[in-house]
Copies of this chain bind each other. A is one copy, B any other.
C-alpha cells in the first residue's frame, strides 16, 4: 500500500548534498585522522564550533564566542543534559503547554513537574507567566523556563518581539534561567522573525540550543548548546559521554567551510513548496472543518479539527489508508487529548502531499460523530 508518512520530523532527502558531503568527508578524514584518534573533549570540534558561532552571529547580529559553544549529539542531548544538570526529581519547570514531544519524554523520565503556559499565534502567552509564577510560589519556583521561541513545535508560531522582551524581563526579575530551544531557527521561508533571546539582552542566565538536524540531517546527530561560563560549566560537569562525534563534526565543518546559508537556502526553498502544498491542500479539502497553521518556517503544520472527531477512529481510518500523523496528545505536557494533529512534511515527496492530504480530510469527516459546525474560527480561539 502507498504510504503517506507525516508522523516524524525529518529534512528533505531530495536536497541532501550527497556529492558535497562525500567531498567534505574525504578532505576531513585526510586532514583530521590524527584528531579522530583522540577524545573530542567536552566542547568538541573547534572548526564546527567556529562555523556555528558564525551562523549565530550572522543570524542574530550578536557576537558569539565559539568557546561558549559546546557541540552536542543533537539538540536533544542539550535538552536532556541541561535538565539533568539543573533539576532534581520533583522540581518544577515552565514550558509551553504544547511543546516538543522529545523534551516532554526526557522531562518525564527525570521526574520534572512540567507547568504549562498556553500558546497562541504569537507563541507562549507570556502575559500569564507572572500569575503562574506567583501561584507556584517559592516552594515550586521553576528551575528554568523552556521555550521553543521560533517556529514552535508543534504550533509553528513565533514568540513576538514584545513577548520576548517581557519573558526576559520576568525571568531576570525573578532570577530564573531561560532555556531557549531554537532548533528550527534557520528553517525559514519568508518574512521577518524576531531575534533569539540572547541577541536581545545581556541577561546571563540564558541557555540557548540549536541544531543541524533541521537544516542538514538528523542522522548527523549534531546540535549545540551556547551559554555563559557559569551555566556552561554547570551543565558540562554533568556530561559523561567523553565528547561528541568528531567524525560527523569534522565532515560538517568542512561542508560549511563557506557558511551554512547556501545549502540551507536550497533546502528551505524545497520545504516551502511542501509547506504550501500542505496548507493549501488542507484549505481545499478540509477548510470547512479544520484550521491550520501557515508557518513562516519549521517542519510542521499544526491542524485543529472539530471536538467531535473520534480520535481513535481517526487514527485507525488513517492507518488503514496508509496515512500517518502525530496526534496532538503527544505534544501536550500532560498527554491530554487535544483536537489537534501535527503534519511533518519535510521529507514527504510533493506528490504524496498532494494525494495524501485529501485522504486525511476524508478520514476526519468519517471520524466525526456529528454534523455540527466546528465551533472555532482559527487555530487558537
* Residue from B11, B80, B237, B245 within 8 A of A248 (CB atoms): B245
* Residue from B29, B219, B221, B248 within 8 A of A35 (CB atoms): B219
| A221 CB contacts on chain B under 8 angstroms | 40, 73, 241-247
A16 to B36, CA, bound (A): 9
- Could you tell me the dominant secondary structure of chain A's interface residues? helix
The answer to whether A37 has its CB under 8 Å from any CB of chain B is yes
Q: Is A220's CB under 8 angstroms from B246's CB?
A: yes
The answer to whether A166 has its CB under 8 Å from any CB of chain B is no
Q: Is B74's CB under 8 angstroms from A242's CB?
A: yes
The answer to whether A22 has its CB under 8 Å from any CB of chain B is yes
* Residue from B73, B102, B245 within 8 A of A220 (CB atoms): B245
A246 to B10, CA, bound (A): 14
Contact with B along A1-39 (1 / 0, CB 8 A): 000000010111100101001100110011001111111
The answer to whether A251 has its CB under 8 Å from any CB of chain B is yes
* Residue from B12, B29, B243 within 8 A of A25 (CB atoms): B29
A10 to B246, CA, bound (A): 14
Q: Is A30's CB under 8 angstroms from B16's CB?
A: no
Can you show 17 pairs from A to B with CB atoms below 8 A apart?
A13-B37, A21-B33, A25-B26, A26-B26, A33-B217, A36-B217, A37-B218, A38-B347, A39-B219, A73-B245, A74-B243, A76-B240, A77-B241, A213-B242, A218-B246, A219-B246, A221-B247
Instruction: Point out residues on A near B: beta carbons under 8 Å.
Output: 8, 10-13, 16, 18, 21-22, 25-26, 29-30, 33-40, 73-74, 76-77, 79-80, 102, 105-106, 109, 213, 217-221, 237-238, 240-248, 250-251, 347
**When A and B form their complex, which 4 residue pairs have the shortest distance between CB atoms, in order from nearest?**
A219-B246, A36-B219, A106-B240, A25-B25
